[in-house]
Each structure stands twice: as C-alpha cells, then as structure tokens.
Amino acid sequence: MWSFAGAGFGLWSFLYGWKSLRLRRIIQEIPTSKVRSLALGLAEVSGIIVPIKSTISPILKKECVFYHTKVEEYRRSGKSGHWATIKELKIFFPFHIEDETGKVLVENSNADVRVKKDLQYQTRAFSSCPEHVHTFCEEYGIVRTGLLGSRSLRFSEYVLEPMDRVYVLASAKDNPFVKEFVNNQDNIIMGISEGVPYFVISDYSERELLQQLFLRSYVAIFGGPVLFLASLAYILWYLGMR
C-alpha cells in the first residue's frame, strides 16, 4: 500500500518540480511593473495591501484580507505516524495593491498564495496552552485531551494584513465587474486568465520566492524519480516473492 503511494508521490513530485522550475523562469523573465504603467497581459507588481473588505483571523485575531488556519493531529499507524488535518479554515477577500504610482485591484479566486507562517504551535504534555489557542479551541469545539491524555495537536495560521508588502504575478485584464467596485474606477484587475495559469500572491520578496522555487524544483525533480524507482522496485520484489 505504502509503496504504491510512494510511487505516485514520486511521480507527482517530479511533475511538480518541473512546474515550479517553469514558474521560476517566468518570474525571472518578467520585469516588475509600476501600477501606473501596467499593461494588459501577464505582469508582476509589488506594493502594499489596501483592503476593500477585511476580517479577523480565527487564532491570532489579526485584521486581514486572507487567512488560512489549520489544525492537525498526529496519528500513529504501527511503527509510523502522520499528521492528519482535523480542522481547516480559509477566507480570502479581493484587495488593492498600491505602490508610489497608484493602486490596482487583485481578485481572490484561484490564486497560488505563498505566505509566511504567522503562527505554529504544537501541544506538549504538561505544558500550558497559549490563551489565543485555548480561546480558538473553545470557539470551534476542538478537544485537546483524549482518553490517554493530551492529544498531539499542531496549530498553524497564515495571514495577509493591511499594509503588508506583497508580490503579485498575474494577468492584468479588463475588469468585467467594474460597476461593483469603488466608483467604477477599477477598470483593470489582476488575476487568473484563460490559457495563462500563473497567479501568485506572496508576502515573500521576489528574491526569496526565486530561492524557494529553485530549491523545491530541484529537490522534486531529482528526488521524485528516486522515490518512484525505489517504490517500484519494492513492488516488483514483493510481487515476485508471492
């Protein structure tokens, strides 16, 4: 069972690596535009978040336009174990990105959001729980103890706050919903476009993003086939033993 999963994951990793490498090359090739000189088509801009609508993140209680909150439990299976997601919450509102020349609307659907982790907390035996995590568990009905004592839980939260500096790679296009936004002024919107599968929003700098993509792509491209072949070899050996 695990060998088939390993073979599948190895193949997926290889394809993911090539996809990441291609995205890295796209980012390198496209110059960063100022909002005022933004042309229609694939473009990248950098600036601060100016919210249209905001919310409050569930754990840290931060004002934000985006949050992704996840609770995982460590579950054992024989001699191994894995982290299983038991609660996941995500909200994303469209926002303006503003630089010194102006601002442009960024939509909120189908984005590849790459955000720094604002919170990671893992429960430990005989240790007190932070107040904000305790409050979150009460609000969402998450029980931290089981029959054998404390459950092994991991809490993580990612947020994009007003005034955060972000990098956006997306298609600049005519806004079909211009009448729904501020004074009909948002005639251009950045987002996904048919036939152009690139839409990245990140609070990492462009340089940091390129470094991440470089490491992940080469680990996946070289590690994926190794895992696939090792898993396949084990499957063939196992079938031959029967």
- Going edge to edge, which strands form the sheet with 117-122? 80-92, 66-77, 153-160, 117-122
More confident residue, 169 or 80: 169
Most confidently predicted of 77-81, 146-150, 155-159? 155-159
Mean pLDDT over 43-61 rounds to 97
The gap between the terminal CA atoms of the chain, to the nearest Å, is 15
60 has a pLDDT exceeding 60: yes
48: enclosing H helix or E strand = strand 41-51
Q: What is the pLDDT of residues 81-105, one digit of tens each?
A: 889 999 999 999 999 999 999 999 9
**Cβ neighbours of residue 155 closer than 8 Å, sequence gap 6 or more:** 59, 69, 70, 71, 119, 120, 121, 122, 133, 136
Please report which confidence band the pLDDT of residue 183 belongs to, taking 50, 70 and 90 as the band edges: very low
C-alpha closest to that of 198 among 5, 17, 22, 4: 22
String of DSSP letters for 99-126: ETTEEEEE--SS-EEE--EEEEEE--TT
* Token pair for 31: 């110059």
pLDDT at 108 (0 to 100): 87
Helix/strand/coil for 62: coil
Query: Do residues 102 and 36 lie in contact, with contact meaning Cβ atoms separated by under 8 Å?
Result: yes
Q: Is 5 exposed, middle or buried (0-12, 13-18, 19+ CB in 10 A)?
A: exposed
For the CA atoms of 20, 23, 29, 30, what is the dihedral angle to 10 degrees?
Answer: -150
**Cβ neighbours of residue 177 closer than 8 Å, sequence gap 6 or more:** 189
**Cβ neighbours of residue 29 closer than 8 Å, sequence gap 6 or more:** none
